[in-house]
Amino acid sequence: MQNRDEIFTTLRDAMVELFELDAERITLEANLYQDLEIDSIDAVDLIDHIKRQTGKKIAAEEFKSVRTVGDVVEAVHRLVNAAAE
């Protein structure tokens, strides 16, 4: 899970599985809270899922600033690639 496309695919699949969302609704521009109706408990589940997939935890402070699926992809990309450098 190194590039943004792989991260998005993994994230989309996780959101379909965890939150029973339609894959078509999950786009980079989709707002987590307004468009996808993810609440704070769901966000914690998503952070936990990302940790299991990457072996790294996104800081809660960083996750508070994300609004869209694309923001999550960028946060995970930074997290994964910071360790690779």
Beta bridge partners of 68: 31
Please provide residue 68's backbone torsions phi and psi, each rounded to the nearest 5 degrees: -120, 165
Find the mean pLDDT for residues 54-69: 85
Nearest Cα to Cα of residue 58 among 36, 37, 42, 73: 73
pLDDT in tens, 14-42: 999 999 999 999 999 999 999 999 998 99
What is the token pair recorded at 28?
A: 């980079």
Is residue 11's pLDDT more than 60?
Answer: yes
Confidence (pTM): 0.87
